[in-house]
Amino acid sequence: MNDRVTLVEMGPRDGLQNEPHLLPLPLRVELVERLWHSGLTRIEVAAFVSAKRVPQMADSAALLAALPRHAGLRLGALVPNEQGLKAALAAGVQEIGLFTACSEGFTLANIGVGVEESLARFAPLASEARRHGIRVRGYLSTVIACPYDGITRPKRVAQLAARLLDLGCNEISLGDTIGVGTPGSVAPMLDAVLGEVPAGQVAVHFHDTYGQALANLLPALERGIRLIDSSVAGLGGCPYAPGASGNLASEEVVYLLQGLGLDCGVSLPSLAATGEWVSRALGRPNGSRTGRALCAK
Ligand code: HMG
Ligand code: MG
């Protein structure tokens, strides 16, 4: 079993996109820097989406202009269309995330087109990004259920994951967008996907609405998945997924991995301090239990 796990840190993007208070740009820069200094090597920092739809991400280009680049750090951003890709390339991102979902209802609410149209739109974007030497993630949301359309069938997730891979994505991030999955529903979904996509190209992206996100990591780790999306202090949520709560907290992931003897190269004390710092900056309670426990010591 490969013992090296990579965390893909979502805090600056998924973490902040749903916050009622905007984090000022210098603090967003500080957040990313702190996360890098904790040992995180992949950080999604921005989204080149409509500022009317997601005002929290409006200054994505300014953020990328202000961020220092570090050897070994990959900065990523969400891209929904050609306009977003142009802006992301101009801003010097090192990875883009194309994002669609398994269900029509969420895809329409989120990006204004249906699933098929989104895939048709992504194909040239993926080629163009790769021509520029930029890596491409494909996000697949609502892999367990959709807030508008209900339960998602595992076979549907597998088929769409395979299509995202075929159109040029380097890896597929499987999103339980509304955090309703349990190991009982996540395991068959993963088995279906892993019939189509190698484990090395699969990431899991669990929201923690029902407190199941950490438990859901176990079937993923057991199946050889080594890419985990998580967010410092458990920040996160999608404005188009009503009722969904934050992401699985990065601190919880690091603590679990340490307990399992799996290495992820992240300093837990440093990460926990960042979680506490950003929670205070946002005026919200720290959403990580591990972070709260460590900071209370
Ligand atoms: P649209 O409004 O449906 O249609 O936008 P449009 O393409 O006709 O554009 C309308 C206006 O948006 C125009 O401006 C465009 O210029 C502008 P106006 O003429 O009205 O002033 N526009 C853009 N502006 C900036 N950047 C762009 C861009 N494209 C158009 N790239 C669009 C389509 C996709 C942009 C819109 O629906 C949108 O921004 N949606 C927000 C999507 C989003 O960020 N959702 C949250 C992230 S996804 C997520 O959280 C799930 C994930 O975490 C995984 C999981 O948890 O499952 C990834
Ligand atoms: Mg998400």
Does position 107 have pLDDT exceeding 80, yes or no?
A: yes
CA–CA distance, 40 with 123 (Å, rounded to integer): 29
* Confidence at 253, pLDDT banded by 50, 70, 90: very high
Q: What's the mean per-residue pLDDT of the chain?
A: 96
Ligand 1 site, residue 84, Cβ cutoff 6 A: yes
- 172 half-sphere exposure, CB direction, 13 A CA radius: 28
Does position 279 have pLDDT exceeding 60, yes or no?
A: yes
Active site annotation includes 264:
no
87 CA from centroid of ligand 2 (Å): 21
CA–CA distance, 145 with 153 (Å, rounded to integer): 8
Cβ distance 249 to 291 under 8 Å? Answer: yes
CA–CA distance, 173 with 138 (Å, rounded to integer): 6
CA–CA distance, 254 with 39 (Å, rounded to integer): 11
What's the average model confidence in pLDDT over 146-154?
A: 97
- The number of beta carbons lying within 10 Å of the beta carbon of residue 59 is 17
- ipTM, 2 decimals? 0.97
CA–CA distance, 286 with 250 (Å, rounded to integer): 12
Per-residue pLDDT at 21: 86
Does position 250 have pLDDT exceeding 70, yes or no?
A: yes
pLDDT tens digits for range 24-73: 999 999 999 999 999 999 999 999 999 999 999 999 999 999 999 999 99
Per-residue pLDDT at 237: 82
**Considering the chain, what percentage of its residues have pLDDT values greater than 90?**
94
pLDDT tens digits for range 255-266: 999 999 999 999
Mutate to test the pocket of ligand 1, among 10, 49, 57 (most ligand atoms within 8 A of CB): 49
Does position 1 have pLDDT exceeding 60, yes or no?
A: no
Residues in the chain: 297
By C-alpha distance, which of 221, 222, 141, 208 is closest to 174? 141
* Confidence at 243, pLDDT banded by 50, 70, 90: confident
* Confidence at 132, pLDDT banded by 50, 70, 90: very high
Ligand 1 site, residue 230, Cβ cutoff 6 A: no
**Considering the chain, what percentage of its residues have pLDDT values greater than 70?**
100
Per-residue pLDDT at 3: 84
Per-residue pLDDT at 2: 73
pLDDT tens digits for range 4-14: 999 999 999 99
Ligand 1 site, residue 99, Cβ cutoff 6 A: yes
18 CA from centroid of ligand 2 (Å): 10
**Would you say the pTM of this structure is higher than 0.90?**
yes
Ligand in nearest proximity to the CA of 48 = 1
From the candidates 102, 146, 238, 264, which is the catalytic residue?
A: 238
49 CA from centroid of ligand 1 (Å): 4
Per-residue pLDDT at 73: 98
HEC letters along the chain: CCCECEEEECHHHHHHHCCCCCCCHHHHHHHHHHHHHCCCCEEEEEECCCCCCCHHHCCHHHHHHHCCCCCCCEEEEEECCHHHHHHHHHHCCCEEEEEEECCHHHHHHHHCCCHHHHHHHHHHHHHHHHHCCCEEEEEEECCCEECCCEECCHHHHHHHHHHHHHCCCCEEEEEECCCCCCHHHHHHHHHHHHCCCCHHHEEEEEECCCCCHHHHHHHHHHCCCCEEEEEHHHCCCCCCCCCCCCECEHHHHHHHHHHHCCECCCCHHHHHHHHHHHHHHHCCCCCCHHHHHHHHC
Per-residue pLDDT at 104: 98
What's the average model confidence in pLDDT over 162-188?
A: 98
